[in-house]
Amino acid sequence: MIRLTPLAPFIKEWREAYAQGGAARDKAVSELMVGSSIMAGTIALFMAGKITGSSVDQEGRRNVSTAAGVQPTSVENQWHLVRLLALTAGRNDDRFSC
């Protein structure tokens, strides 16, 4: 799983695949890029308040979040997620316009 993050160059197998060149190098770089892109997209959606994580363990903080209208593990507007997945899959056409 770490092969899909910016930490991949610290993994021995990743460095070996990169040094090997050819298809092995291309695969190693593509895994790194796809994983990093998904991570960056998820962080951006979270920071924008479009997606939320699991609820807080502390009851007081959970009550405050619930009162503020934050639903745990939710997507504010599912069309943002559909659009992101469509763009990732290369389906940038009118069917997915928001």
Question: Which residues, in sequence order, are bridge partners of residue 51?
Answer: 75
Does 96 lie in the same domain as 57?
Answer: yes
∠ CA 54-67-39, nearest 5°, is 30
pLDDT score for 27: 93
Does 67 lie in the same domain as 36?
Answer: no
3-state secondary structure of 3: helix
Does 11 lie in the same domain as 36?
Answer: yes
The C-alpha R_g of the chain, in whole angstroms, comes to 18
The total number of structural domains that make up the chain: 2
pLDDT score for 48: 79
Q: DSSP label at 94?
A: G
Does 58 lie in the same domain as 26?
Answer: no
Does 57 lie in the same domain as 18?
Answer: no
Does 21 lie in the same domain as 4?
Answer: yes
pLDDT score for 39: 87
DSSP H helices in the chain: 12-20, 22-47, 59-67, 78-88
Residue 83: HSE in the Cβ half-sphere, 13 Å Cα cutoff: 10
* Maximum separation of any 2 CA atoms in the chain, in Å: 55
Does 35 lie in the same domain as 61?
Answer: no
Range of the domain at 62: 52-98
Does 33 lie in the same domain as 6?
Answer: yes
pLDDT score for 56: 62
pLDDT per residue rounded down to tens, the chain (98 residues): 788 888 999 999 999 999 999 999 999 999 999 989 888 888 887 787 777 766 666 666 666 666 666 666 666 655 656 666 666 655 544 444 44
Does 39 lie in the same domain as 22?
Answer: yes
Q: Which helix (H) or strand (E) holds 98?
A: none
Does 64 lie in the same domain as 44?
Answer: no
Q: Is 93 left (phi over 0), alpha (psi -120 to 50) or beta?
A: beta
